[in-house]
């Protein structure tokens, strides 16, 4: 089973006011619900976030997803249920709006100033 990790803010949650008070306050990003559903057909998917995982799970549940927040293992490989966690578990791919793809440190030092 292949696992895909998906960041919450800016990828699923629109995050138009930034962190604000730490609550989940916004609408989903355009295409987020359909995108997650498509991923979940073929992969185990987990959501990683710095926000309160119970609040994120409740928000995702209102969008029709089955979620889980309690997981003691090292690898998430359950399809059809989203794990919501504040841990960065192993995955085959990480979907994040603020990521830099690593090729070399020289390339990171070139790419980073364009990201911040």
DSSP 13: B
Hey, how many other C-beta atoms are within 10 angstroms of the C-beta on 116?
A: 5
What's the whole-model pTM score?
0.93
List, for residues 56-82, the tens digit of each pLDDT value.
999 999 999 999 999 999 999 999 999
Hey, how many other C-beta atoms are within 10 angstroms of the C-beta on 49?
A: 20
What is the structure's pLDDT at 114?
86
In order of 11, 19, 48, 102, the CA distances from 23 in angstroms are 16, 8, 15, 31
* β-pair type (44-48, 67-68): unpaired
């Amino acid at each position: 089973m292949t696992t895909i990790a998906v960041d919450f803010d800016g990828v699923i949650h629109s995050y138009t006011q930034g962190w604000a008070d730490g609550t989940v306050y916004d609408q989903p990003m355009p295409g987020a619900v359909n995108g997650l559903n498509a991923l979940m057909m073929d992969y185990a998917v987990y959501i990683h976030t710095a926000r309160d995982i119970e609040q994120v799970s409740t928000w995702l549940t209102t969008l029709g997803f089955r979620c889980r927040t309690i997981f003691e293992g090292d690898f998430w490989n359950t399809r059809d249920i989203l794990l919501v966690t504040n841990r960065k578990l192993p995955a085959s791919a990480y979907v994040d709006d603020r990521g830099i793809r690593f090729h070399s440190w020289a390339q990171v030092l070139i790419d980073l100033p364009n990201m911040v």
